[in-house]
A and B are shown apart, each in its own frame.
Chain A
């Protein structure tokens, strides 16, 4: 890295030992739309609010949940444009791994490499940290996994987690509801109920997005029709 005249890091230590740019990045994440993930016994679900600035926006053109590989998906909270950069870089890394080893990249490895990119931007010259936290959901030989990656580049594995505006209520709700032997379907219902908790307005298939991966190891985003079915079951 080291962009021309800016060959010094913009993220530097404060006298109290904090990296304030990272803290501010986390604040940006905290004001983003709520997203969450739940790891079930036989799969993982990730979900997010999809509130658009106007009814004139074509919601079909917006996809917040993306797949990184056929068996790994990701959702973010925070600055959308920043997440696109990370999705692109992660996809490339996954592809490079595949080209070399002729097999799908393990979830932990992809998470580690994505986190490394995010860390780079907290130390390289002339750049700011990413204003997003990611929830990565995947299913590989180690079973279903859910990881959260923060702007600092630190990552943790979670049974269930939430990010964004409603993070504390959502986490409290998840702590009460989570069980280790949850099935994927139950997890989807719980995800919807968690989103509903802090939702401003009426929840519908047009203003939330849900992605799942099961034992088939194929990550996919639910269609609006499927979301409507789940919403009806939850009522």
Chain B
């Protein structure tokens, strides 16, 4: 079995192309966009918020189970809650393995991990199929991520320290702006973590409505 200069295989498994690219990883990025959904995350002074479109029934991705198990075993071993950046790094390292071993393909998932760190405060991390992970002040993933990032860059240019309401409303209005449509409270899902209540919580439709009203009154 000879594998000369890729011979087309560089498109099927994660080996290098002549230009030094990994096509399978690039295709995985495309798969993320193919879902047709966009998600937005924003980090404020004492809270983090993530917003996503609710187009398909609630899907538990391949990461949820693994993450949950990993967090429990971390707590058991080390005696304290797994910090956000450690979890993000673990996800990213797992993703990297899939880009280097031929028998596993990269996952077509971008994971946004958020939480309140005891020492560093609110944190928002994004992990991608290539195994990169960065902390973000705000970010987006999915179909319209570039437009959303452009919108957010303008808003966060002078390093504002958003309050909880501003954080949530920035995230929601970013999504509204890139989708160019107003949506109803039951068409999006909003999750938050706040310093005063450092538990991840999904907002109810009523709470989302309040924010949507506040945004439209503001404009």
Contact = CB atoms under 8 A, between A and B. Distances in A.
- The yes or no verdict on A and B being binding partners is yes
Interface residues of A, number: 44
B217 interface: no
A25 B22 CA distance: 10
Interface of A: 3-6, 8, 10-12, 14-15, 20-21, 24-31, 52-58, 60-62, 79-82, 84-85, 88, 121, 126-131
A27 B18 contact: yes
A21 B16 contact: yes
Interface residues of B, number: 44
A29 B20 contact: yes
Contacts of A24: 6, 15-20
B133 to A, nearest CB: 8
B213 interface: no
Interface in B68-127: 85, 89, 92-93, 95-97, 99-103, 125
Q: What does DSSP make chain B's interface, helix, strand, loop or mixed?
A: loop
A80 B89 CA distance: 12
Interface in B1-17: 1-6, 13-17
22 contacts: A6-B102, A10-B15, A14-B4, A14-B5, A21-B15, A24-B15, A24-B16, A27-B20, A28-B16, A28-B20, A54-B139, A56-B149, A56-B156, A57-B134, A57-B137, A58-B137, A81-B93, A81-B99, A84-B92, A84-B93, A121-B100, A126-B102
Contacts of B136: 56-58
Contacts, number: 123
B20 A56 contact: no
A54 B15 contact: no
B15 to A, nearest CB: 5
Central interface residue in A12, A25, A27, A54, by most chain B CB within 10 Å: A54
Interface of B: 1-6, 13-22, 43, 85, 89, 92-93, 95-97, 99-103, 125, 130-132, 134-139, 149, 152-153, 156-157
Nearest to A32: B20
A24 B17 CA distance: 6
A30 B20 CA distance: 9
B175 to A, nearest CB: 15
Nearest to B135: A61
Given A27-B16, A61-B125, A80 B132 contact: yes
Q: Which 6 A-B pairs have the closest CB atoms?
A: A61-B135, A81-B131, A28-B20, A27-B20, A24-B16, A81-B96
Contacts of A79: 130
Contact of A8 (B1, B20, B21, B89): B1
Given A3-B101, A4-B103, A20-B5, 18 more contacts: A6-B102, A10-B3, A10-B13, A24-B15, A27-B20, A31-B19, A53-B134, A55-B153, A55-B157, A60-B135, A81-B93, A81-B130, A82-B96, A85-B96, A121-B100, A126-B102, A127-B102, A128-B15
B26 to A, nearest CB: 13
A111 B155 CA distance: 46
A114 B184 CA distance: 55
Contacts of B95: 81
Contacts of A4: 103
B95 to A, nearest CB: 7
Contacts of B97: 85
B21 to A, nearest CB: 7
Contact of B21 (A6, A28, A30, A53): A28
A55 to B, nearest CB: 6
Nearest to A10: B15
A221 to B, nearest CB: 17
